[in-house]
Amino acid sequence: MKLLEFLKAILIGIVEGITEWLPISSTGHMILVDEFVKLKVSEEFLSLFLVVIQLGAILAVPVFFFDKLNPWSKKKSESEKRATWSLFGKVIVGVLPAAVLGLLLDDFLDAHLMNYIVVAAALIVYGVLFIVIEKKRKGRDFRVESVDDLSYKDALIIGAYQVLSLVPGTSRSGSTILGGMLHGVSRTAAAEFSFFMAIPIMLGASGLKVLKFILAGFTASGLEIGLLLVGIAVSFIVSLLTIRFLMDFVKRHDFRPFGIYRIALGALVLVYFLIKSFV
């Protein structure tokens, strides 16, 4: 039985590692996974597990982009090092809107928006937006091609779009990439900046969830801790592969396939749970 639970944790880690970075909503997929693959843990720990395994996913970003994010690299000139520090500053500016509203609205969003109707609607709406925006931008040049060329104003505007990802089913990468493209930022630059902004946002979300878990007096068993560590490790490995795939993909393709996938997934979620409610 313990082996089965660890296999479930591995599967959930794989889903997290893939969907956290692709603009297809990790929340929508987690709802479906939880419907069919239920960990035999307390409800409180499951809530913790689904958020904290994001730590594995987020650790993949500084590992994958280590040279780009390392301001002390001997390979960089002084101007390149200053540009790296400047990038850190832009990331901080970018995360401020979502960080502030996330702290203020965390409990409200969980209580009122974490349901299949909201998730399905967000999946479909953003799927349509991906298709429409890509069609509108076809053949047009982007104002900003590299993440290093982003201004602080660009960072703040993209960060404002990230606020939309507080709605379950939206996708953090989806909202920031769409926002960046609407603002004239290339897919590659928008995707990279989305990954960088995710580091403090996801670390904060995981830390907040752990703090609430501890303050509420909940405890985890040895098995539960083991499941969490496995989920984190798997999501880290899969995230490295997913980030590499997405960065290669955006150099040659647009996001319309993800838009089509989102619409199909949203329809599936909606139909499945509507049927279930009547059966």
pLDDT of residue 1: 67
CA-CA distance, 123 to 169, in Å (whole number)? 6
CA-CA distance, 209 to 71, in Å (whole number)? 30
Q: Are 33 and 251 in contact (CB under 8 A)?
A: no
CA-CA distance, 128 to 263, in Å (whole number)? 7
DSSP bridge pairs for 144: 185
Rounded to the nearest 5°, which phi and psi values hold at 75?
-80, -15
pLDDT of residue 112: 75
Q: What percent of the chain has pLDDT over 70?
A: 99
- Overall pTM > 0.85: yes
pLDDT of residue 63: 95
pLDDT of residue 140: 83
pLDDT of residue 235: 96
Mean pLDDT score, 147-173: 91
pLDDT at 209 over 70: yes
Count the helix, strand and coil residues of the chain and give each as a percent rounded to the nearest 5: 80, 0, 20
Q: Give the burial class of 141: count Cβ atoms within 10 A of its Cβ; 0-12 exposed, 13-18 middle, 19 or more buried.
A: exposed
Q: Are 198 and 64 in contact (CB under 8 A)?
A: no
CA-CA distance, 260 to 28, in Å (whole number)? 15
What would the pLDDT profile of 88-99 be if each residue is shown by its tens digit? 999 999 999 988
Tokens (6 digits) for 165: 């990802």
pLDDT at 105 over 80: no
Tokens (6 digits) for 72: 């002390």
Highest mean pLDDT, choosing among 16-30, 75-89, 163-177: 75-89
Instruction: Kindly indicate the confidence band of residue 207, based on its pLDDT and cuts at 50, 70 and 90.
Output: confident
Least confident range from 3-7, 43-47, 264-268: namely 43-47
Q: Are 128 and 256 in contact (CB under 8 A)?
A: no
Cα 197 to chain center, whole Å? 10
CA-CA distance, 133 to 226, in Å (whole number)? 43
CA-CA distance, 159 to 198, in Å (whole number)? 10
